[in-house]
Amino acid sequence: MTLKDGGVPPLHQLLPFAVTVGACFVWYVPVEEPSVAGMVLKCLPIVCLLVFLATTEQGQGESAKVQAALCFSLVGDAFLVWPENYFLGGIVFFGVAQGLYVFSFGWKGVSWVLGVALHGLNLLVLSVMLPTMPTLYLKVAIAIYSFTITSMFWRALDRSRFRKDLPGARRLCTALGAATFCVSDLCIVVLQLGRLLPHLYAQLIILSTYYLAQLLIVLGSAESFWASAAPLGKVK
């Protein structure tokens, strides 16, 4: 299945995701008090993406692996509402999610030069970050997570370059989503932990890039979504 020439996918299916992201920004981010209500607001956009994939793709093919990754991300999101108590748990669940994304993007076409370059850059970043971490457990968890998300970015870029059997729109969404995910995580370190911006603005940037990343990765796996595009001029 491919995107029809001049077609427009049914974007109304993503309206619940957009609404819940807006609700999170209005009612959760300005207060950000650890609570069950806050957890629900923060997790609802990911729930909407899960429902979107379940209804449009029926858990088939690549989307099934992405759905599994979203489930682990959902638990990670819930843990990070209480970062003082569950930060390490959040990292673990997000690490598993990144591993599932690696599995989803696959190994059809591999640029080892790109992989070595990206992981080398990751080692340089870790050499600066890890000495500032307070515990050994946290250092190990962050090192493993950074390796996993770097691998995810690598596989997404290779997928974009080599998977010519897939529509360009899907490959582009996956690559942009992976890059945005890396930017979101980097913002956590630079903006929030580094305290370069007031907490409110840092959280807005972190969550907006995070939700955008998840959306783009989901769209990259949504074969039926693109195949159901309506030709321009017939969109109601």
Domains identified in the chain, total number: 1
Question: Phi, psi at residue 123, to the nearest 5°?
Answer: -65, -35
2 lies in some domain: no
CA–CA separation, 181 and 145 (whole Å): 13
pLDDT one-digit tens code per residue, 53-107: 999 887 777 899 999 999 999 999 999 999 888 999 999 999 999 999 999 999 9
1 lies in some domain: no
| pLDDT: which is higher, 147 or 133 | 147
Terminal CA-to-CA distance of the chain, rounded, Å?
Answer: 23
| pLDDT: which is higher, 196 or 110 | 110
Percent of the chain scoring above 90 in pLDDT:
65
Contact 101, 84 (CB under 8 A): no
186 lies in some domain: yes
Domain of 218? 7-231
The C-alpha R_g of the chain, in whole angstroms, comes to: 18
Q: Find where tokens 């638990």 sit.
A: 75
pTM: 0.90
236 lies in some domain: no
209 lies in some domain: yes
> Is residue 121 classed exposed, middle or buried when 0-12, 13-18 and 19+ CB atoms within 10 A define those classes?
exposed
Q: Find where tokens 């009612």 sit.
A: 27
120 lies in some domain: yes
130 lies in some domain: yes
